């Protein structure tokens, strides 16, 4: 199973309903630059939006405590790696990123919508 498929399967099992968009064949599939600018990629002929998948991944890893320690760091790092593998990255200062994740966790607000909003504020294209 490749990395993208494994991440997608993890996200599908999470408690949040994820949005899978229109068929690649129906839309601007002939224009890969437009698709890249919109932050989406094609899996099994369906568009998956990078920012939404990244937010779901971060939420799942951060809240489910799959590791003994450093779950927040792992959630951030795995999300950034996922975005980098798809042509994007999170541009945020260390203290600001830590304050967002740690503060959200402390207030029990580390949820999909808030994470997605933060990612959309800080996502940048590698190209």
Q: What pLDDT score does 50 carry?
A: 81
- Dist CA 82 CA 68 (whole Å): 22
- Dist CA 97 CA 76 (whole Å): 9
Confirm if 42 and 36 have CB atoms less than 8 A apart. Answer: no
Confirm if 126 and 89 have CB atoms less than 8 A apart. Answer: yes
Phi, psi angles (nearest 5°) of residue 69: -150, 160
Q: What pLDDT score does 21 carry?
A: 41
Provide CB contacts within 8 A for 27, sequence distance 6+. 47
Instruction: Find the length of the chain.
Output: 127
Per-residue pLDDT of the chain (127 residues; tens, 9 = 90+): 566 566 656 555 553 333 444 455 555 444 454 455 445 555 445 455 788 889 999 999 999 888 788 889 999 999 999 999 888 889 999 999 999 999 999 999 999 999 999 998 998 888 7
- Dist CA 119 CA 29 (whole Å): 25
Question: The pTM is what?
Answer: 0.63
In the chain the domains, ranked by start, together with CATH numbers, are 3-125 (1.20.120)
């Amino acid at each position: 199973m490749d990395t993208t498929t494994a991440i997608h399967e993890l996200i599908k099992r999470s408690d949040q309903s994820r949005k899978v968009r229109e068929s690649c064949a129906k839309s601007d599939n002939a224009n890969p630059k437009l698709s890249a600018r919109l932050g989406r990629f094609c899996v099994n002929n369906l568009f998956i939006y990078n920012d939404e998948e990244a937010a779901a991944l971060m939420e799942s890893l951060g809240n489910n405590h799959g590791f003994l320690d450093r779950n927040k760091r792992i959630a951030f790092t795995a999300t950034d790696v996922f975005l980098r593998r798809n042509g994007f990255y999170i541009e945020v200062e260390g203290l600001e990123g830590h304050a967002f994740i740690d503060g959200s966790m402390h207030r029990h607000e580390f949820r999909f919508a808030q994470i997605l909003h933060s990612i959309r504020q800080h996502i940048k294209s590698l190209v």
